[in-house]
Amino acid sequence: MISGGGTGGHIYPAIAIANAWKEKYPDTDFLFVGAEGKMEMQKVPEAGYKIEGLKVAGLQRSLTLANLSFPFKLLRSLQKAKELVKNFKPDAVVGVGGYASGPLLYAAQNQGIPTLLQEQNSYAGLTNKLLSKRAKRICVAYPNMGKFFPADRLIYTGNPVRKDIMELAGKKETAMEHFGLESGKKTLLVLGGSLGARTINQAMLADMKALEEGGYQVLWQCGRFYFSEMETQVKSAELKHIHVLEFIREMDLAYAAADVVVSRAGALSVSELSLVGKPVVFIPSPNVAEDHQTKNAMAYVSQDAAILLKDSQAIGKLKLTVDSIMKDENKAEHLASNIKKLAKPNAANEIIEALEQIIV
């Protein structure tokens, strides 16, 4: 059983782990457990796996009516998780973070099922810290995570990513054609995550005309919440080289097309970008627990492997920051080389080995 979700940063590593295990043990039965109404309920079946949903939600930081229902949802989720584990009888349970992983792993640990945690971020969440006390293995994406977890069960694997992202060679021409891009023009890829990022979108609106006039073409994933508004703005500005998309499914082609990438610093994005080996500008979201995106980004910036542009400074400074890389070939090559050194391409297989160790 594999549990977790809420964002692509939790879902895609979970699917990557399942795919790697399935490749080695094709007769395995899988059951994913997610949170009802969250994107895993769509993305996991699309990847070919069965999923059950729990009526679980997060506790809001401010005093809201939603918090009054939290204990009842949690109790119902714990009861359903207990039944799912009892009926499915898994050999092991993997938790990747997100609302559903807490109840499921708690239920599995109470029934004596071995559990493995996969922590994507450089700053561990509260749920994983609590679950780690009884987890058999904790696979992490960053070094020096012993401050959060028991060191004797810690394995530094990196984050598992989709296989196609590791195979970009020879895809650039196909990518340019797929997205309707011009060969010979410098390409900027702008990513705000699957749901979109308001600041990044506002920064693009402020600088999109200057980017086009500067000779760049932009592949811009703005997210479903913002797509209609952003598409209208681009059309009204009559910009031919700003390609705005709600969501990019073919991420391998998007990465293959890019000369420079602007991105949030979610754990999965950071891991993917290190494997891609392109110059990156990170604009971390300030609206996440413990400011963990800034911590993720700084792990790379401190190694001279990426540029940091603060969310509060992004609007009005996007083009200047992109120019500083696009117009300096040595800097671009230096950043690309350094980020590639931090890649962990065998993460999924190392997690599979850890799982094999805990299954009796």
Q: Which of the 8 DSSP states describes residue 224?
A: T
248 labelled binding-site residue: yes
Question: 332 exposed, middle or buried (CB, 10 Å; 0-12, 13-18, 19+)?
Answer: middle
Asked if 280 and 308 count as a contact pair (C-beta separation under 8 A), the reply is no
285 labelled binding-site residue: no
How far are the Cα atoms of 52, 152, 288, 307 from residue 145, in angstroms, in the given order?
Answer: 31, 11, 19, 23
267 labelled binding-site residue: yes
270 labelled binding-site residue: yes
184 labelled binding-site residue: no
170 labelled binding-site residue: no
121 labelled binding-site residue: yes
307 labelled binding-site residue: no
269 labelled binding-site residue: yes
Asked if 127 and 29 count as a contact pair (C-beta separation under 8 A), the reply is no
Give every CB contact of residue 213 below 8 A, 6+ residues apart in sequence: none
Which residue's entry shows tokens 């080389």? 337
7 labelled binding-site residue: yes
Asked if 211 and 322 count as a contact pair (C-beta separation under 8 A), the reply is yes
- Chain center to CA of 168: 19
- Residue numbers in the known binding site are 7-9, 121, 162, 194, 248, 267-272, 293
- Residue numbers in the known binding site for UDP-N-acetyl-alpha-D-glucosamine are 7-9, 121, 162, 194, 248, 267-272, 293
